[in-house]
Amino acid sequence: MQVLLAGATGAIGRPLIRALTADGHSVLAIVRNPANHGLVRELGAEPVTADVLDHDGLLRALDGMRADAVIHQATALRDAKPQRRIPADDPTGLLRTVGSANLLDAAELVGARRFLTQSLILGYGYRDHGTVPLTERDPFGVYDGGVADEVVRACVSAEEQAFAASGLEAVALRYGLFYGPGAFSDLFGDMMRKHQPVGPRGEGGVNSWLHVDDAAAATVAALERGVAGRAYNLADDTPISWGEFFRLVRDSKQAPRPIRLPLWLVRLGVPYIAALMGDTTMRISSDLARAELGWQPRYSSVAEGLAAG
């Protein structure tokens, strides 16, 4: 297929371009900064300069182009700064709300028949979900009036807009927390080396993770075999606590012992980080993706993925 990809230079975008081209697809990569054209071409895609949040500019840049599918992987997580609350105009949130609407119009313009959107397992809600793995049959978009509701709301918006679009085979990908090159493991490894606090003390909540290479492989499988109107959970086989994650990152990066703060202090300074690391526990089942997409993670655990480099 000819694929139009938004978020081409992000943590998933880079391995995704490689995975798409390896499977015979060609990629038009939307990039905001022309300085990234060389990188995108080196990865195997053809760059298109546009801003996903600029509706008219995006459509002008794509005028006359054709694509069979659009994949929305655009985020602004690399530029995120710790703050007391997640505002309604949070850049990543806007990319999931406004950006999704713009990319759906772009899909119509280029004649695409399939649309894949990035969602997150955190859309199930920032709370303790217990020990039973969550499946796609569990309620998605659970709000508790807390500090992280904006993240949940943005994930729900991205999914609902895609599924409501007429004439499109839409698929939502509910990824686990990302690690690997350019993702959380690199971020926290750098913070450890700079002696910056990485989170609260203790083991914290348990969560499900996904290596960025496995995320890319799952996305290609969903592009080729995903059922229209379906959401898929995508995570590895080994949920772990934040305490274990920090230990694995420290060992793999040969970083200093991480600085960790009392939970009450993190809650006071960055409440949504406390909600994520201290209050949220979710174990995720990816059985539907295994059955319908023929996908399974190459790395069954964070320990295995980090050990592989």
Q: Is the pLDDT reported for residue 309 higher than 90?
A: no
- Quote the pTM value: 0.95
Q: Which of 123, 131, 119 is nearest to 282 (CA)?
A: 131
Tokens 């480099």 identify what position? Answer: 309
pLDDT of residue 7: 95
pLDDT band at 81 (very low <50, low <70, confident <90, very high): low
Q: Residue 127 has which token pair?
A: 């709370």
d(CA 136, CA 234): 10
d(CA 242, CA 216): 24
The one-letter amino acid at 293: L
Q: For residue 274, how far is the Cα from the chain centroid?
A: 20
Mean residue pLDDT across the chain: 95
Helices vs strands, H then E, count in the chain: 12, 13
pLDDT of residue 85: 72
Tokens 């909540």 identify what position? Answer: 205
d(CA 294, CA 219): 12
pLDDT band at 78 (very low <50, low <70, confident <90, very high): low
Range name among 44-48, 143-147, 214-218 with the lowest pLDDT average:
143-147
45 near 37, Cβ under 8 Å? no
pLDDT of residue 287: 98
Q: Is the pLDDT reported for residue 86 higher than 90?
A: no
Report which DSSP code applies to 170.
Answer: E
Q: Residue 49 has which token pair?
A: 């300069």
Segment 18-28 shows an average pLDDT of 98
pLDDT of residue 146: 86
157 near 97, Cβ under 8 Å? yes
pLDDT of residue 80: 57
Q: Which of 154, 186, 160, 302 is nearest to 235 (CA)?
A: 302
pLDDT band at 260 (very low <50, low <70, confident <90, very high): very high
E strand or H helix that includes residue 30: strand 26-31
Q: Residue 92 has which token pair?
A: 């990543």
Q: Which of 147, 121, 144 is nearest to 134 (CA)?
A: 121
Q: How far is CA 126 from CA 79, 131, 136, 156, 249, in A?
A: 22, 15, 16, 14, 23
Per-residue pLDDT of 194-206, as tens digits, reads 999 999 999 999 9
Segment 171-188 shows an average pLDDT of 96
% of the chain beyond a pLDDT of 90: 91
Q: Residue 189 has which token pair?
A: 């490894």
Q: Residue 26 has which token pair?
A: 């060609």
Please work out, in degrees rounded to the nearest 5, the angle formed at the alpha carbon of residue 49 by the alpha carbons of 65 and 103.
Answer: 60
Segment 113-117 shows an average pLDDT of 98
Segment 41-60 shows an average pLDDT of 97
d(CA 36, CA 41): 9
pLDDT of residue 83: 66
Q: Residue 158 has which token pair?
A: 């991205």
For 269-297, letters b (16+ CB in 10 Å) and e give ebbbbbbbbbbbbbbbbbebbeeebebeb
pLDDT band at 77 (very low <50, low <70, confident <90, very high): low
Q: Which of 49, 77, 43 is nearest to 65 (CA)?
A: 49
pLDDT of residue 228: 97
% of the chain beyond a pLDDT of 70: 97
pLDDT band at 91 (very low <50, low <70, confident <90, very high): confident
